[in-house]
């Protein structure tokens, strides 16, 4: 019965992704969190970490090519910052939510209860894993078109709102301007093995925790926290 439900889910998932897979096991792996296999030892497919690794590389190439071709007047440093804003955890998790991927995730009961930043990270990983699966099954052009439809429309808003700027530097400027306070950052939690560590960082104005950020490094998490803090304070 479980396998039949998975087949139905995969059919619906292919419809929302807009891709008909030749090998649906790739898609099944893309939506499978490592924790699911720990509770389902009889599963015959892999979790999504290898596909996520591949999808991350495809995503970076596609976005880099798009930015290089579209914004010929911008220098390398600015293009790098815009790319980082376009493919960060928040952007990718939002793209997953907009697709409706959330309801198809296979994970342990414990992981399924996670909300907030932890869920954002899982959704972002699944988005990259789906890209990896599409690339393997359909090729580069289909993967590029999938990414273009879900992410490229955000680029103009990122540039208009200057969201590509270093968020920590920008938040510090704004905090000094509005509150005469220098922000501080503290590690809220860190999870996962050494090769796949996830950090949650809080940003504070004195004792007030303004926002949190999540990332694969403390630097990335701090940038995410600063970006969220600017929005939380309405300083954007």
Q: Which residues have a catalytic role annotated?
A: 56, 128
- Residue 144: how many other CB atoms lie within 10 Å: 20
End-to-end, the C-alpha distance of the chain in Å comes to 50
- CA angle, residues 62, 67, 68, in degrees to nearest 5: 100
Cα 187 vs. chain centroid, distance in angstroms? 20
Angle of helix 89-99 relative to helix 218-233, nearest 10 degrees?
A: 70
Q: Is 106 exposed, middle or buried (0-12, 13-18, 19+ CB in 10 A)?
A: buried
Q: What is the DSSP letter of 22?
A: S
Cα separation values, 108 from 65, 114, 230, Å = 37, 10, 34
Token pair listed for 90: 């928040």
CA distance 232 to 157: 18
């Amino acid at each position: 019965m479980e396998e039949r439900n998975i087949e139905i889910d995969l059919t619906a998932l292919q419809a929302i992704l807009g891709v008909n897979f030749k090998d649906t096991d790739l898609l099944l792996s893309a939506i499978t969190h490592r924790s699911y296999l720990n509770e389902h030892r009889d599963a015959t497919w892999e979790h999504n970490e290898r596909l996520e690794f591949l999808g991350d590389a495809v995503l970076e190439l596609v976005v880099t090519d798009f930015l290089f071709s579209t914004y010929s007047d911008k220098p390398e440093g600015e293009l790098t910052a815009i790319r980082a804003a376009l493919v960060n955890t928040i952007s990718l998790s939002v793209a997953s939510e907009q697709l409706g991927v959330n309801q198809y995730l296979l994970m342990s009961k414990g992981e399924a209860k996670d909300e907030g930043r932890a869920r954002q990270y899982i959704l972002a990983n699944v988005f990259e894993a789906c890209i990896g699966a599409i690339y393997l099954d359909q090729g580069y052009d289909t993967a590029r078109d999938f990414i273009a439809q879900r992410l490229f429309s955000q680029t103009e808003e990122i540039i208009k709102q200057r969201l590509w700027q270093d968020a920590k530097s920008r938040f510090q400027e704004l905090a000094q301007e509005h509150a005469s306070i220098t922000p501080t950052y503290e590690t809220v939690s860190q999870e996962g093995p050494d090769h796949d560590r996830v950090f949650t960082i809080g940003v504070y104005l004195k004792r007030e925790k303004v926002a949190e950020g999540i990332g694969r490094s403390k630097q990335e998490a701090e940038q995410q926290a600063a970006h969220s803090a600017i929005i939380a304070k309405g300083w954007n």
